[in-house]
């Protein structure tokens, strides 16, 4: 087995893991869900799901990863001692490849709009960059995958950590700068009210709760092995409960910041004559990001081009910090299990993802929505459920405690250890299974 890399610092891990969690799921997906689920009512339920369900599953992945120092397939096989672990790990690896396949398409759209904004600054007009076409999707999706591969080939400390430490602070600065700018525009206060004042009657509706659970799992990159693999690169001396809490808080914080930007920006667009409602509901998804907001930027005159450029830089960075963690999951398997060189494994898998993405692009209406639903609404929650079973029922409790003690000798007496073992054993599986059942009936 090839020697495994390690994160060189606590900050490096937190920013890399948070970067995995912080992606289009936060900056596009979260505001989208807020828009279609009654504003602050969804925010409130998302916070509940993030802390009560997503964080315990995040901890299961981190603990399993560091204890086994392996990719998802080998780690789960080691715990189960049979084919159940291999099957679960393999489904996780397939799921993450499929997620990256549709994710890279959307990230390519971000890059094309960024290119359009940059060219607009120098008065070069290329409408093709923002017009939907298979050729545009294929070209920019390929460019995005190349960027992702270049980072992953650098390894853990020299690639993933190195770039996460640079990209994540940049992302946060850009979000905050845009929030400040948008908040001073006409219409912003109405957007703030929509984001912050909940419609209590909607908080406990089944559809909203299911959307909140799915968003929490997707935005934290849970169930598909990204956090498990990152956990395998954490130094033994680190306190895992504190590290996990830091990652969860950064992820939740960026999601909230994204909502603070996007929802007020929608109402600013409304004040500028841009239509933000469709059939009585706030517009969401691609229409929001690629039509409503660009229309808003266009009403701002010269400064609008600069704001658009900053916004799509932000979106592209968020996409990249997540895609490198997704690609790392199958790369880690080929490096660990098959003894393949990292560079060869990275480009082999990048080519595979490109081929899958191309199939989706060329059969867009049939496959795009299907792949998203299959992976994020069904596979991720079910994998999260199975990881709870591994951590709560299959893996010996004493082994988990011994692993946690490496980063804190007194962890046995902590509030985390008094709650987490039984919570991940009994509460999380029942809640996840119940909500998954409600989502398919």
Residue 365 vs residue 19, higher pLDDT = 365
Q: Which two tokens stand for residue 102?
A: 């549709």
What is the rounded average pLDDT of the residues 175-200? 89
Q: Which two tokens stand for residue 192?
A: 């703030």
Whether the CB-CB separation of 25 and 174 falls below 8 Å is answered with no
**Using one digit for the tens of pLDDT, what is the confidence trace for 126-164?**
889 989 899 999 999 999 999 999 999 998 888 888 988
Domain boundaries of the chain, sorted by first residue: 10-440
Which of 113-127, 241-255, 349-363 holds the top average pLDDT?
349-363
Q: What pLDDT score was predicted for residue 4?
A: 63
pLDDT at 56 over 70: yes
Q: Match 């990275």 to its residue by tokens.
A: 346
In a 3-state reduction of DSSP, which class is residue 390? helix
pLDDT at 2 over 50: no
What is the rounded average pLDDT of the residues 204-219? 79
**Using one digit for the tens of pLDDT, what is the confidence trace for 274-287?**
888 777 677 766 77
**Using one digit for the tens of pLDDT, what is the confidence trace for 219-276?**
777 778 888 999 999 998 899 999 999 988 888 888 888 889 888 988 898 898 888 8
The DSSP 8-state label assigned to residue 53 in this structure reads: I
Which of 33-42, 95-104, 252-261 holds the top average pLDDT?
95-104
H-helix or E-strand spanning residue 386: helix 380-389
pLDDT at 97 over 90: yes
Residue 37 vs residue 174, higher pLDDT = 174
**SS3 string of 241-257?**
HHHHHHHHHHHHHHHHH
Q: Which CATH number fits domain 10-440: 1.10.4160.10, 1.10.490.20, 3.40.50.300, 3.40.50.620?
A: 1.10.4160.10
Rounded distance between C-alpha atoms, residue 14 and residue 432, angstroms: 26
Q: What pLDDT score was predicted for residue 214?
A: 77
Q: What pLDDT score was predicted for residue 38?
A: 72
pLDDT at 183 over 90: yes
For residue 180, the Cα-to-chain-centroid distance in whole angstroms is 24
Q: Which two tokens stand for residue 194?
A: 């929509």
DSSP H helices in 220-341: 226-231, 240-271, 286-287, 293-298, 302-338
Nearest to 293 by CA among 278, 306, 311, 279: 311
pLDDT at 296 over 90: no
**Using one digit for the tens of pLDDT, what is the confidence trace for 386-435?**
999 999 999 999 999 999 999 888 889 899 999 999 999 998 898 888 87
Whether pTM exceeds 0.85: yes
Q: What pLDDT score was predicted for residue 278?
A: 75
pLDDT at 1 over 60: no
The DSSP 8-state label assigned to residue 278 in this structure reads: E
Whether the CB-CB separation of 316 and 289 falls below 8 Å is answered with no
Bridge-based pairing of strands 277-278 and 281-282 is: antiparallel
Whether the CB-CB separation of 95 and 375 falls below 8 Å is answered with yes
Q: Match 């994204």 to its residue by tokens.
A: 258
Under the banding of pLDDT at 50, 70 and 90, the label for residue 3 is: low
Instruction: Output the average pLDDT for the chain.
Output: 88
Q: What pLDDT score was predicted for residue 176?
A: 92
Residues 6 or more apart whose CB falls under 8 angstroms from that of 306 comprise 121
Query: What are the phi and psi torsion angles at 282 (to 5°)?
Result: -65, 135
Residues 6 or more apart whose CB falls under 8 angstroms from that of 323 comprise 23, 100, 103, 104, 107, 144, 145, 148
């Amino acid at each position: 087995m090839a020697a495994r890399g390690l994160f060189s610092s606590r900050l490096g891990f937190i920013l890399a893991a948070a970067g995995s969690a912080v992606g289009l799921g936060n900056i596009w997906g979260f505001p989208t869900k807020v828009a279609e689920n009654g504003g602050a009512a969804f925010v409130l339920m998302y916070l509940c799901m993030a802390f009560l369900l997503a964080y315990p599953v995040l901890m299961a992945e981190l603990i399993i990863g560091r204890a086994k120092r392996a990719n998802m397939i080998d780690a789960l096989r080691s715990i189960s001692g049979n084919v159940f672990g291999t099957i679960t790990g393999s489904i996780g690896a397939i799921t993450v490849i499929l997620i990256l396949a549709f994710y890279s398409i959307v990230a390519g759209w971000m890059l094309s709009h960024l290119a359009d904004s940059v060219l607009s600054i120098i008065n070069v007009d290329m409408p093709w960059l923002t017009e939907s076409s298979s050729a545009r999707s294929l070209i920019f999706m390929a460019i995005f995958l190349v960027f992702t591969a270049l980072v992953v080939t650098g390894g853990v400390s020299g690639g993933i950590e190195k770039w996460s430490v640079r990209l994540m602070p940049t992302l946060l600065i850009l979000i905050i700068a845009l929030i400040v700018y948008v908040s001073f525009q006409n219409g912003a206060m109405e957007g703030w009210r929509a984001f912050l004042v909940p419609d209590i009657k909607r908080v406990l509706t089944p559809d909203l709760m299911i959307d909140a659970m799915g968003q929490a799992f997707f935005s934290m990159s849970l169930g598909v092995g990204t956090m498990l693999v990152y956990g395998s690169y954490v130094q033994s001396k680190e306190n895992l409960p504190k590290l996990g809490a830091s990652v969860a808080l950064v992820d939740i914080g960026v999601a909230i910041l994204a909502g603070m930007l996007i929802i007020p920006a929608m109402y600013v667009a409304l004040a500028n004559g841009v239509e933000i409602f469709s059939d009585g509901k706030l517009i969401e998804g691609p229409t929001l990001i690629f039509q409503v907001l660009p229309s808003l930027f266009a009403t701002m005159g010269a400064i609008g081009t600069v704001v658009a450029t900053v916004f799509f830089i932000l979106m592209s960075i968020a996409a990249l910090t997540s895609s490198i963690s997704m690609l790392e999951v199958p790369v880690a398997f080929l490096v660990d299990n098959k003894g393949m060189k990292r560079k060869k494994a990275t480009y082999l898998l990048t080519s595979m993802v490109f081929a899958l993405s191309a199939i989706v692009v060329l059969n867009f209406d049939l496959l795009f929505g299907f792949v998203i639903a299959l992976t994020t609404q069904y596979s991720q929650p079910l994998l999260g459920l199975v990881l709870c079973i591994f951590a709560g029922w299959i893996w010996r409790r004493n082994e988990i405690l011994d692993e946690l003690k490496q980063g804190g000798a007194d962890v046995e007496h902590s509030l985390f250890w008094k709650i987490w073992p039984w919570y991940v054993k009994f509460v999380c599986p029942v809640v996840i299974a119940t909500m998954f059942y409600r989502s398919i009936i």
